[in-house]
Structures are given as structure tokens and as C-alpha cells.
Amino acid sequence: MQWSEWKAKLQERSERIVRDCSDLAKRAMKRTSSYIQGHKKQTISIAAGLLVTIAAGASAQYYYTSNVISVYHVIVNGQEIGVVNDPKVIHDWTAAKLEEEKAKKGLNLTLADYITFKEERQFKAPFDNEAAVKALSSMADIKVQAVKLVIDGKVVGYLPDQQSAEEVLADVKQKYSGVPAGKKAAVAAASMADVKANPVKEVTFKEKVELQTDSVAAAQILPAEKVEELLIKGTFKELKHTVVEGDCIGCIAKKYGITSKDIYANNPGITENTLLQLGQEINVTAIRPLVTVRVKEDVSQQEVIAFPTQINNNDKLPKGETKVIQEGKNGTKLVHYEVVKENGQVVERKVIKQDVITQPVAKIMERGTKVIPSRGTGRLSWPASGYISSGFGSRWGRLHKGIDIAGTGSVMAADNGRVKFAGWDGDYGKAIIIDHGNGMETLYGHLSVINVKVGDVVEQGKKIGVKGSTGDSTGIHLHFEVHQNGRVQNPMRFLK
């Protein structure tokens, strides 16, 4: 028989006893009234019987009332699992069970099930504490009281407690900032008393990072080092991009927050020179950290102030030439920056202030503005100092086309003109030819150094080279020739 059926029969029996006692009392009262009228002699004995009957009824009522007790229906997640005589039975079992599990796993546990009680009072109400506890034990959902790590609204993982979670976040920040947090910071500060202050002034996460309490299965708890690795290294997320009109590798990379190198690595057939096709699928998968550590630093560094250059015109200096009047000297300054880094990469650099340490010294130059006419005067000046070691005319059975000026020294332009040739010229060795623009040309041979180039306009008396012994030469000298309208002339006719 079920305890509910037994409860119903007991209730029915109790009510019947009360009913019978009540009926007995009523019948006794009626008889008493009748007998008093007709049989006065028997009144006393009837009254005594009535008193006995009433006493019996009262006794029954007392027995019923004294056996009405409270019992508690145990309801788990909306479903009744049994009846106990005191909620403490369930509370004691729950506390003992959680302590037992905590001793095994070393974690703070909780009972995930929702337990309520419904009180009921009735005559000799049945209950079974042992059965209720057994039923609860078979279905009790023991869970770990954990801290849930949420990033931008997405659950990353569960840690055993608030302290573990905060230490993981502090370690991730330290990786990119070098600044320890919490107890580690105090230890580091004590051991770094003489070290220069760290430039870091703020360390935050770019994403919204939340720590929330929750109850989960013990298997869902992750070791702190695993969560830290997950935050730093991130995870792969397989992703494909379909090429549309106007796409390029750089554009696609920017869209998905990766680099062009990531795309080349994921797609071996694609290079910088690959022509993308409409509808082509590109693998844009990449590992990305789950958090971005944003570090603000105050950085001071000494930098060079480049010297300015001041150029003055000089109408006495030939156009195209320059002359240094004062050498420049760089200055120095101390620049204070606010630098923003994201996961170790500089994303922003802002100048806060600058302090000049040494002022730069300007470089002063003069720039020639004097225009030198490219047309000669027709009267030649001596192109070099020295003596004539060989004149114009027949020599060793052939014509010596110019004059040789022996000795060392510089070679100057004999007249105004434009350089027509400057370089190696066979037997002449290093040579220069100047066109004077009036049908006359002069040649300077056997040079050791050439100081002009083709196209230069030179002024009479300007240095154009140095005497030498290049080409077919027996010693250091200048071989000087004059050509007029294409014919070789004796230079002595034109030298002044």
C-alpha cells in the first residue's frame, strides 16, 4: 500500500470516530429528556450515563488533536521527491555532501538543484526521511562555484575563484607591459628600489573583460595557465572569403584584421603577382589573441636637431659654384612622448613636450650668381705655369700640334667657353677640349686630374685640371693645342 493511500484511510478512520462520538452524545441528550418526564426515579442514573458518554467523546477529540503533526514535502526543481518531518534533514545532508566533495576536489562546491518545502498538518501524518534523502542523493547536481571569464560578451572559460582569475589577467597584462600586479608588484618594487621608474602609466584591455560568478560542472574548470595561454595565443577560426570586384590582397587582409603574409601562408598558390578571380575562395584564417593589452607609456629620449642651411647669393662667384662660409652643427633636444602600444606594437606616438639641450648651428653657404659667357674673347691666357719644353711644329718626323709646358701644377681654361670633352683620349691620356664658341677650340692633354665635366661653362683662368703624364708622355707636362675653324694653329699666336 502506498503512503498516500494509508494517509487517506487514517484520515477517514479519525473522522468516523469523531462522528460516532457526536451521534452518541445527541442520542443520550434525547433519552435523558424523555426519561426525566416519565421516569423521574431513573433521572440520576441516566445523567450519570450521559456524563460518561460526553467524557468519552472529549477523550477521542483530544486523542485526534494531539496526534496531528507537521510534515514537509520535499520539492526539487518543481518535482516532489519525498516527505520529511523536518527540513533540517535535507539541509544537513546537503551541507555534509558539499563538504565531502570539497575535500575530494579542493574546490568550493554548490548544489545546483532548486530545493523547496511544502508544509502539511494532519493526523499521524506519514513521512520517510531516509527515502527522501536517498531520492535527493540520486538526482542531486553538485556543481563548482566558479568565476566565468567573459570577453566582449563571449565566455572564454571558467576558473576556480576570483583570485585565480585576477592573477591570470594580471599576468597577461604583465607580458606586454612588464609591470607586475598585486603581490608580485610589491615584491618587485621592494627589489627594484634603485631602478629607474618604469615609463608605463596605464595598462588596460581594449576589449570589455568581465568576471562573473557561476556554477558549473567541475570538468569545465580550466587551469590558470591554460586560460592565460588561450588569452595570449587565441584560437584558430576557419574563415573563407569569396573574391568580389575591386578586391586586392591588402584590402582583404585589412577587412579580416590579418596581414597579407597571413593570406600568403594560408594560400600557397597566391603570391604578390597573383591576379585574383571573381568568385575565388581565399582562406583568411589566422590565430588572433583573445585580448589586446593596451599600454600607455611616458617615454623620454634625446634626439638630434638637424642644423639649417643658409644660402646667400654671391655675384662674384661663378653661377653653379658654391662656397661654404660656416660649417653646420646639429643640436640636441629631449623629447617627451606618450606612446600607445597594443600587444607590444606601437600604434600611436604623441609628443607631449620638447626641451632643447643644445641649439643647432646653421651652415652658411654662398651660391654663385655670376654668369660666365660661354663665348671666348679670342685672346688666350696661359693655361699653366712653367717653361715650354717642346714647341709647335715638326718633331721626330711628324707635326707636333701644340706646345708642351713642363713642370707640375694646375691647368686653367685659356678662355671662356663650354667643355666639349673630358676624359681619356688615346695618346693624349686624360684630356679636356673646350669650345670657345667663336670657331676656336683648345685641347689640354696628359692630365693627372680632370676637374670639369662635359657641358660645364668655364671662365678664363678657371682651374680645370692638374698636369700629369698620362697617355703617350715622357714626363709631367701639359700638352696644349689650339684649333681654329677646324685647323690646328700655333698657340703662341693667341697667347697674351
**pLDDT tens-digit series, residues 283-298:** 988 777 889 899 999 9
Q: Is 488 found in the same domain as 397?
A: yes
Q: Is residue 410 a part of any domain in this protein? A: yes
Domain assignment present for 57? yes
Task: Give residue-wise pLDDT tens across range 384-396.
Answer: 999 999 999 988 8
173 is a domain residue: yes
Q: How far is CA 242 from the centre of its chain?
A: 27
Last residue in a domain, options 125, 140, 155: 140
Which SS3 state, helix, strand or coil, does residue 357 take? strand
pLDDT tens digits for range 296-324: 999 999 999 999 999 999 988 877 778 99
Q: Has residue 88 got a pLDDT over 80?
A: yes
Residue that wins the pLDDT comparison between 89 and 197? 89
Q: Is 431 among the domain residues? A: yes
Where do we find the cell 600568403?
Answer: 264
| Residue scoring higher pLDDT (353 or 145) | 353
Same domain, 483 and 416: yes
Same domain, yes or no: 166 and 84:
no
State yes or no: pLDDT of 469 exceeds 90.
yes
Which are the contacts of 167, defined by CB distance < 8 A and separation ≥ 6?
182, 224
CATH number at residue 457: 2.70.70.10
Residue with cell 715650354: 388
465 occurs within a structural domain: yes
Q: Which of 327, 344, 370 is at the close of a domain?
A: 370
Answer yes or no: do 335 and 348 share one domain.
Answer: yes
* Residue 445 or 31, more confident: 445
CATH assignment of the domain containing 298: 2.20.230.10
Residues paired with residue 449 on neighbouring β-strands, in sequence order = 466
Mean pLDDT over 87-116 rounds to: 77
157 & 60 share domain: no
Residue 288 lies in a domain: no
Contact 377, 413 (CB under 8 A): no
When divided into structural domains, the chain yields a total of 6
User: Which of 334, 354, 340 is closest to 297 using CA atoms?
Assistant: 340
Q: What is the residue range of 392's domain?
A: 388-493
| pLDDT value at 126 more than 80 | yes
Whether residue 61 is found in the same domain as residue 77: no
Same domain, 273 and 321: no
In a domain, 458, yes or no: yes
- List the CATH number of the domain containing 258: 3.10.350.10
Residue 225 lies in a domain: yes
For 253, the 3-state DSSP assignment is helix
Q: What is the pLDDT of residue 5?
A: 61
C-beta separation of 494 from 380 below 8 A: yes
Among 81, 113, 140, identify where a domain stops: 140
Higher pLDDT among residues 78 and 478, named by residue: 478
